[in-house]
Structure 1
Amino acid sequence: MSDLRTVNHPVVDPDDIGYNTSNNPSFEQILEARMTRRGLLRGSFALMAASVLGVGLTGCGNDSDTTATTDTGTGTNTGTSGLTLSFNPVAKSIADALSVPAGYTATVLMAVGDPINNSTSTYSNVGTDDAASFQFRFGDHADGMHYFGLNAAGTGLDYSNATRGVLCTNHEVSEDLGFMHAAGPTEYGSASTAARPTTEIDKEVALHGVTVVEIAKSGTTYQVNRASTLNRRITAATEMELTGLARSSDLMVTAHSTAGTNTRGTINNCGNGYTPWGTYLTCEENWAGYFYRREDNAVRTAKEVTAFARYGIKNDTSGRYNWSRPGITDTTDLYRRWNAGVTGASAAADFRNVANTFGWIVEIDPFNPTSIPKKRTTMGRFAHEACFPAKPVAGKPVVFYMGDDSQNEYVYKFVSDAVWSASDANAGASAGDKYLNAGKLYVAKFNADGTGTWELLSMSNSKVASYTTYSFSGEADVVINARLAADAVGATKMDRPEWGAINPVNGEVYLTLTNNSSRGSAANRALDAANPRYYTDQKGTTSTSQGNVNGHIIRWKETGGDHTATTFNWDIYLFGAQADADSNINISGLTIENDFSSPDGLWFSQVTPGLLWVQTDDGAYTDVTNCMMLAALPSTMGDGNTVNVVNKAVPSNTNADQTVATRVGSKASNTSLRRFLVGPKGCEITGITETPDGKAIFVNIQHPGEGSKSVTDPTQFTSHWPKGGSARPQSATVVITRNDGGKVAV
């Protein structure tokens, strides 16, 4: 059978497409001048056995990659917390299996299609399940998630309950290949104008969004309580309320809500967050490609065309899934709302503004199953990857950090107008109205001297008010088109800002920059404007990618340790690389026990302060290992030694080699960075949360089997995880525990 990814739906990772044509400085330009001042983490460790969950076995002994980087550091550092990692590193693996350390057990909690109530049938996993049932099944592509302890009455939050809780899980997309359909999806490539069956669309729509379920400890692991009244699915068809600055704006008016106060659905739910008042935040990431807009730009205003271009809403495709084409007789907003073209006499008669109602942070009350999710527009509209809170301080505003996950995009911060009161710690979504509907949105500018500033995105900032590329009509327009406002103030372009986390030990903020293939190309970034690593990546014997292929992690500390500050200091924490790469690429001195590529998920334990988890979403190193998760104990910002890194000119450029002075972190002990988990074939490791006792963690295994060539021929599947045999692969949430009942990792 032909590859449906090519024939029916050409898939290009939206994260790898950049829409930033501003002249703002790139992070690489600034980083070159900065690297003599800040440090990186490194280390080398012994490699030992792992236990395995899946359809293959990982044997004991050394990894097949026997080339290790010599550690030339001069000191030791076990991190700021004094913790020591207690597990033996897991070997790299390309087996179709989930590997965890010896002494640990990983159990599947939920897989795509599993019922969340007792009235829905067991999932067939062959594509024959009734479309209506998917409103009560675990969604696809599980991503960010969070555990909320449940009180004794089963109605609210108990921060300390580790045996009974509510788990909220994002679902980024529905499987592009179409494993939820018996023979894959009806053709829906961008050139098609044919109608799609509504039953197919209904399945795909329902597989997006968020799953909320009650879980409870049963023996040594956890199970879903399918009888709980808290269980529900929030999908791409669920009613949503628009709140904050953009509520009731003319730019939010649609036929669904002529007052501009509501919309329907949440999509591409990738990273996540949570609030100090006990609610869940889901992030709408690559939402722009879902909308059909096959029209001439001449029918739109110049401002609309500028905004469409900046967010990647094209007029030459029919949407990622073509959900707007169920048939010519459709008159409901379930399907035609995906058509963002001008089809009626006014905005109130069609969905020309519908894309403006997506790209937000969405707040969900996990303890109120009848509540309507709220899109918090004051926090800005872009490709949200995560929304992570600083520790609240009584009498101070509440602060959240956010990344915009596309090439050359920005880092944002939201600071509430209202100041924190501990009395709101269990107030639910009403507290969200208080803290998230009014506040200040900032974007980061990283300076060459190691300092940084947070630039205000508001009409009160003259750079925004006088921007000539796009004339903002008011504060609602600023948050709706936050990317353009960030361009206006000269924010620093970054290499795909994704997940972030705050070290509870010292308040330092960490953010993953997954990769950027445009770096170093003649058309985008000349080598002399580089990050300390512009290089050609070797995958086996083939040169496959150029630029910042393996990504890195940055960190910063706000002035005075105050997260509301508008200035900060920053450095580089860690560079991804394979262990046997040239030392000018493997700057952090990674070894076979901890080398990785493309950091994505990032999370500090709140139970074990100082313990950091790093997850990967990689395509560059997959000939050597599947995606993974590592445990780390970071040192403090600013420690390290200066070395000279020689960058070889990118072949497509005419630039000469360039030497950049770089500071590399002091030698790490064997408690500083270790590979904890390796996933099955084709997967991404993403999403992590923990129970309040630190004795169980939950991790998502997303899209195992990516790259499969057929949905009907098992020999063409690249993975059969988690069921094994000839089964279709499934995204799933696993729970990981120590066999001795102790805390995970330490």
Structure 2
Amino acid sequence: MAKHDLDPNYLDPNYEPVVNQTGNNPFHEVLAARLKRRAVMKGTVGAALASIMGMTLVGCDSDSDGDDDSAGSAANAQTELGFKAVPVSNANQVVVPEGYSATAFLPWGTPITGSYPEFRADASSTGAEQEQQVGMHHDGLHFFPIDQKAGGNSSTEGLLVMNHEYINQAALHQNGATYVAGERPADEVRKEIAAHGVSVVHIKQDSEGTWDVVFGSPFNRRITGGTEMDIRGPVRGNAKLVTKFSPTGTETRGTLNNCAMGPTPWGTYLAAEENWHGYFANSNPDQPREQTRHGVGNSSRYDWELADSGADEYVRFDVTPGLGDPDTDYRNEANTYGYMVEIDPFTPEAKPQKRTALGRFGHEGVIFAPVTEGKPVVCYSGDDSRFEYIYKFVSSQPYSAATAGGYLLDEGTLYVAKFNDDGSGEWLALSLEDADFAAKVAAAERTMVGDIDFDGFEDQADVLLNTRLAADIAGATPMDRPEWGAVDPNTGEVYFTLTNNSNRTEEQTDAANPQAENRTGHIIRWTEENNDHAAISFDWDIFVFGGEQGTETVVDGEAVVTLDDDNIFNSPDGLWFDYNGRLWIQTDGSDAEPYQNNMMLAANPVTREIKRFFVGPVGCEVTGVVTTPDVKTMFVNIQHPDANWPFGAEGDHPRDATVIVTRNDGGVIGA
């Protein structure tokens, strides 16, 4: 029996022990203070209606008449929802609106590179074969037009790049994960590591409109949990990154638990490392704060460190300190994870780069604000764990389209968000050069910060290695699992999903979160001061609360959204604005009544109209969405489906896959 079989939560990739033990004012208390009143109860389980006080954000007002604002009317016309909403579903199939078609594409195991080994339905494939095939548990993805580097925007050919968050061992192997005398077969471990990471797939549409892999393309590529990578930014070369593999602390191997992502303004792909803590084991009870603040345990999720070959590439997942110096073992290996990883899909020979200036935590993804010549690059990222934070990075160097590249992400200031109860917000700098932060650090020294005995930061690299701890000290607002973000291309407003918080107690309930073990979540949005994304203050509000029929989002005494059969949802997770400005909302929540299977909805940000567009098969998470530039082909990822979707009786194992959605008349998706 595996050690972690004793804990049924341990194989859940979303399972993180709550490790924020600070007394920072949590978001539910901030939100409660911002509520004007608790309204009447509606819905079959009594979802409370919340009334939000204060001014609405610029561009957030719902104008049902649309007769006074020509710009608003134009934006509304562009973001109208022209499809008939689909009902909830518990069928083991994808459901899309009338007039649309959905086709499974690039399922786990699709050969894309090397010798193109075929998928084996009996799960007998080897680790070497999996390294040449599409990985497992598809997540965030992006479509790069094949001519993007030349300034083009092809919608018929491009590179589809996607993350593979974690694995299903029962499906990956013929008999699930196996152990012999307490050890795991090395090729099983190799296969599991290979099923993680990122796939870069060159795809092309034929004259009939069918998409397929361009076999033999030099762009087709697998990045796995074993791919060599460079460390970049302020943490590069730090003593706490020294390992047997990289005595200089400048390299590492692999990227893991890649959830959401972010395309950069210069045409590269950033993969997020989210719940990476569960891949490492440290049997020493005296763990460093770089591990305890993230929840590294004394056993790992998949026991890769127990591979029977004893090879260095597997031993590294045991981060228990040895008796020698750090360059003789892997005590620091976990410190090389928890970053955004930049991949250039158009340069397959380039090593991926871990961008440490963006902070080290449980990155859900990253979103970039629109770039302007001569101004800094700004991007946002959420830390997907209960009671964690939302961050913003502002580059030191200005953006120039002619020279822009990943170097812009190596120097700058990392901020963390503080939400005030009057609807304002502040970005708190996590920099020892910032006088306010430096003073807070000095005041916190030789005290307990949460359950960590804080003895200061050695330098800025140490701050970034311990981003969560730095945010605790700065006084950031703990949030309810901040996940995907999106920036409205028409208004510049920033949206973030706050998925849920199953740890909320009865004593913590409030008007915005009226149920203990709150599982419905909501979407928050803000506008930066003077619409400058580099500003250090903002105004925030709630876009919509998740919930059952009758749940209302009320602004200034008026219900701006009332959920009904066409748009009930819970646990908003994925979030993306298409090129016309429609907001797409994906869920990863309970499949109980009345919600049933997870789904994707479309929202008009001008009017707040929301309609259900897509329902996934049984047991899945609907995660990752992008369209071609003409918004006529949509790619949606399906993760961890149950049963044997998408091929029914044809296969024994469920296979994660991308779904291609098109309109039968060839029109714009959602219009």
Q: Given the two structures, how large is their TM-score scaled by the length of structure 1?
A: 0.80
CA offset at residue 324 of structure 1? 0.4
In structure 2, what is the equivalent of residue 354 of structure 1? 333
Note the residue ranges of structure 2 that are not aligned, 5 or more in a row: 52-60, 67-71
Does structure 2 conserve the Cα–Cα contact (< 8 Å) formed by 1:27 and 1:531?
A: no
Residues 77 and 612 of structure 1: is their aligned pair in 2 closer, same or farther, counting only changes over 3 Å? farther
Partner of 2:172: 180
Tell me, yes or no, if structure 1 residue 611 matches structure 2 residue 582: yes
Query: Residue 413 of structure 2 aligns to a residue in which SS?
Result: strand
Correspondence 1:397-436 to 2 at 5 A: 397-424=376-403, 431-433=405-407, 435-436=408-409
Q: Distance in 2 between matches of 1:595 and 1:15?
A: 25
Equivalent residue pairs, number: 630
Decide which of 547, 561, 571 is 1:577's aligned counterpart. Answer: 547
Structure 1 stretch displaced more, 500-509 or 16-25:
16-25
Quick one: distance in 1 between partners of 2:359 and 2:114?
Answer: 39
Is 1:567 the counterpart of 2:512 in the alignment? no
1:6–1:635: structure 2 CA closer, same or farther, 3 Å change rule?
A: farther
In 1, Cα distance between equivalents of 2:282 and 2:114: 41
Residue 269 of structure 2 corresponds to residue 269 of structure 1: no
Secondary structure at the counterpart of residue 386 of structure 1: coil
Helix, strand or coil for the counterpart of 2:112? coil
**Which residue in the other structure is 1:204 paired with?**
192
More displaced stretch, 372-381 vs 719-728: 719-728
1:558 Cα deviation after fit: 0.1
The verdict on how the C-alpha distance between 1:283 and 1:465 changes in structure 2, with shifts beyond 3 A counting, is: farther
**Selected match of 1:730 from 615, 638, 655:** 655
Compute the displacement of 1:226 (Å): 1.8
CA distance in 2, matches of 1:494, 1:700: 26
Cα shift at 1:131? 2.0
* Separation of aligned partners in 2, 1:278 and 1:185: 38
Matched, 1:132 2:128: yes
1:596 equivalent to 2:569? Answer: yes
Quote how far apart the aligned CAs of 1:465 are: 4.6
How big is each residue's C-alpha offset from its partner over 1:219-247, in whole Å with a ceiling of 9 and x where there is no partner? 22311112101101000000010000000
Q: CA RMSD in A?
A: 2.9
What pairs up with 1:345-494 in 2 under 5 angstroms? Answer: 345-424=324-403, 431-433=405-407, 435-460=408-433, 461-462=437-438, 463-468=440-445, 469=449, 470=454, 471-494=456-479
- Distance in 2 between residues matched to 1:443 and 1:125, nearest whole Å: 46
Is 2:548 aligned against 1:548? no
Map 1:615-634 → 2, pairs under 5 A: 615-619=586-590, 621=592, 624-634=595-605
Which residue does 1:310 correspond to in 2?
293
Within the candidate set 290, 295, 315, 1:336 is matched to: 315
CA shift digits 1:90-139 (9 cap, x unpaired)? 11000101111111111122000110037223211221112211111000
**Mapping for residues 250-269 of structure 1, pairs under 5 Å:** 250-269=239-258
Confirm or deny that 1:23 pairs with 2:3. no
**Equivalence map 1:99-110=2 (5 Å):** 99-110=95-106
Q: Is contact 1:69–1:580 with CA below 8 Å preserved after alignment?
A: no
Which residue number corresponds to residue 709 of structure 1?
A: none
Counterpart amino acid of 2:463?
V
1:465–1:734 CA distance, 2 compared to 1 (3 A):
farther
Alignment partners' CA distance in 2, 1:723 and 1:406 = 34
Say whether 1:696 aligns with 2:633. Answer: yes
Between 414-423 and 113-122, the greater mean CA deviation after superposition: 113-122
SS of 2:188 mapped into structure 1:
helix
Q: CA contact under 8 A between 1:210 and 1:233: conserved in structure 2?
A: yes
Q: Which residue of 2 aligns with 1:148?
A: 144
Distance 1:160 1:441 in 2: 32
Deviations 1:394-444 (A, max 9, x none): 1110000000000000000000001011213xx6xxx102x0110100000
Return the letter of the residue paired with 1:734: V
The change in CA–CA distance for 1:559 and 1:235 in structure 2 (over 3 A counts) is same
Identity %: 43
User: What is the SS of the residue equivalent to 2:327?
Assistant: helix
| Structure 1 residues 364 and 721, CA gap change in structure 2 (3 angstroms) | same
1:492 shift after superposition? 0.2
- Which SS does the other structure have where 2:366 is aligned? strand
CA shift in 2, pair 1:521/1:351, >3 Å: farther
Q: Aligned partners of 1:296, 1:613: CA distance in 2, in Å?
A: 44
Query: Partners in 2 of 1:624 and 1:594 — Cα distance?
Result: 10
Matched, 1:232 2:221: yes
Partner AA of 1:343 in structure 2: G
> In the aligned structure 2, how far is the partner of 1:254 from the partner of 1:634?
48
SS at match of 2:76: coil
CA deviations on 1:361-420 (whole Å, 9 max, x unpaired) are: 000000011100000001100000010000001111000000000000000000000101
* Alpha carbons of structure 1 residues 8 and 499: separation in structure 2 relative to 1, 3 Å: closer
Q: Which runs of 4+ in 1 moved over 6 A?
A: 4-9, 67-70, 72-75, 581-584
Letter of the 2:90 partner, please give it: I
One-letter amino acid of the structure 1 residue matched with residue 498 of structure 2:
L
Cα distance change of structure 1 residues 624 and 560 upon mapping to structure 2, 3 Å threshold: closer
Quick one: higher RCO (CA 8 Å, sep 6+), 1 or 2?
1
Matched residues in 1 for 2:62 and 2:141: separation?
39
Cα distance, 1:534 vs structure 2? 2.3
Q: Is 1:221–1:737's contact at 8 Å kept on the other side of the alignment?
A: no
